[in-house]
Homo-oligomer: A and B are copies of this chain.
Amino acid sequence: MNKQEIPYKIYLEEQEMPKQWYNVRGDMKKKPAPLLNPGTLQPLKQEDLEGIFCSELCKQELDDTTRFFDIPEEIRSFYKMYRPSPLVRAYCLEEKLGTPAHIYYKFEGNNTSGSHKLNSAIAQAYYAKKQGLKGVTTETGAGQWGTALSMACSYFDLDCQVYMVKVSYEQKPFRREVMRTYGATVTPSPSMNTEVGRKINAEFPGTNGSLGCAISEAVEAATKQEGYRYVLGSVLSQVLLHQSVIGLETKAALDKYGIKADMIIGCAGGGSNLGGLIAPFAGEILRGEADYDIIAVEPASCPSLTRGKYAYDFCDTGKVCPLAKMYTLGSGFMPSPNHAGGLRYHGMSSIVSELYDQKILRAVSAEQTEVFKAATQFARTEGILPAPESSHAIKVAIDEALKCKETGEAKNIVFGLTGTGYFDMVAYAKYNDGEMTDYIPSDADLEKSFSQMPVVNL
């Protein structure tokens, strides 16, 4: 199709929005390995999880056969406030690059949380409310998840307690104010509020924190308060289930215009955006119906897929959470503080890890300065200032479009633009001032971190 036929932005109609989430595990012959009880090292059951998570979410977490879950009407109503999100044809970027490739991006940043995180936040808040809880606790890295959860809790009138990774808390003071505007309390992590926080502060004085630490604190806070549960913004299978709304809409928008994607590119931290974006496409590959080149892009400073081990590991630094089999750098891995924003998690969603192991997707890593270079180029041509996280996908999409320029191929490149960078201006300022640096962990660093992983023989 030509420019006249495909609009700049493909919007689905409200009635075309997905009515069910898609659980890609239902189409996997070899399933992701089960979560393990950290005490007994036995596969977790519903009752093991219910002290931490809402019951309905435990069910979703453990169910690896049901392919579709109905999206409750209350969640669909909330979705309608900011969804369907547009699938944008990057005409201006294509022209700037002089590429024959057709570039599309699914833009999830047009809501106040600034990212796709709201898709799962509203679902988790809904199930917490339905269960009659008082509130929820969580961690946040770049602050997008915390903001999303604050919005969702405010909508359902639930208390919201956020442990925010210290480096982000300090770099993004305004994120805190957005969360407070939505009525949440925000605590920098590691804090002195929890046993595990006090322990980590004693062990690593002056630490910048990590998602792993913040998770441990939030879990402890949830289990020690009556009527509270813990919620998590990425990694878990339930989160990838909710995020499948991204991929389902993307697929529907492409189908509406008869476009067959050749490549699908997403940034990968814990894996929720990537897992959601690729779900229906991975499903087609798994069912032998189609083929796609799926690429996960991770930061070179936190390279769980490209340099991690595929093994059982702790999900959090404090080792209070279940064990998951995943590509991991070891739960003791602390990303460099010079790394901007999110994508700081030591592990990768079990589903994405297993799909990667089955070669349904491939992975590449990108260094920070080249990511910000791509971000700036994108901002100037497409008019959206992207989040640093999302910009990892932009970087590789541009690389692939330039390869097409060499080969003359008119590939359809689809990538996920997970969010906006309005709260990342400290990092942009560093880049603008030429003061941004790159960091790649040494093999010795990783070996040290690997050596602290649990030994599980299953």
Contacts and interface: CB of A to CB of B under 8 A. Distances in A.
A180 interface: yes
Nearest to A84: B9
A182 B381 CA distance: 10
Interface stretch (A194-202, A294-302, A350-358, A424-432): A424-432
B80 A8 contact: yes
A81 B383 contact: yes
B432 A385 contact: no
A81 B9 CA distance: 7
A151 B383 contact: yes
Contacts of A91: 77
Given A11-B11, A81-B8, A425-B174, A380 B183 contact: yes
A454 B60 CA distance: 72
Contact of A432 (B8, B155, B177): B177
A212 to B, nearest CB: 28
A92 B118 CA distance: 17
Contacts of A385: 112, 178, 181
Contacts of A13: 7
A369 interface: no
A118 B383 CA distance: 10
Given A8-B81, A92-B81, A420-B112, A383 B178 contact: no
Interface in A432-450: 432
A80 B7 contact: yes
A73 to B, nearest CB: 12
A379 interface: yes
Most buried by B among A151, A180, A425: A425
Nearest to A173: B425
A178 B420 contact: no
Given A82-B383, A110-B110, A428 B8 contact: no
A422 B379 CA distance: 17
Contacts of A155: 92, 380-381, 383
Contacts of A82: 383
A118 B7 CA distance: 20
A382 B92 contact: no
B7 A181 contact: no
Nearest to A381: B155
Interface string A76-118: 0110111000000001100000000000000000111010001
A178 B384 CA distance: 11
A154 interface: yes
Interface string A354-398: 000000000000000000000010011111110000000000000
Given A8-B14, A80-B8, A92-B81, A182 B379 contact: yes
A74 to B, nearest CB: 11
23 contacts: A8-B14, A9-B14, A11-B11, A77-B92, A81-B382, A81-B383, A111-B383, A112-B385, A114-B422, A151-B383, A155-B383, A174-B174, A174-B422, A174-B425, A174-B426, A177-B429, A177-B432, A178-B425, A180-B432, A181-B428, A181-B432, A182-B379, A182-B380
Given A180-B432, A181-B379, A182-B379, 15 more contacts: A8-B81, A81-B382, A92-B155, A112-B379, A112-B383, A112-B385, A112-B422, A114-B422, A151-B380, A154-B380, A174-B174, A177-B428, A178-B385, A178-B428, A422-B422
Interface of A: 7-9, 11, 13-14, 77-78, 80-82, 91-92, 110-112, 114, 118, 151, 154-155, 173-174, 177-178, 180-183, 376, 379-385, 420, 422-423, 425-426, 428-429, 432
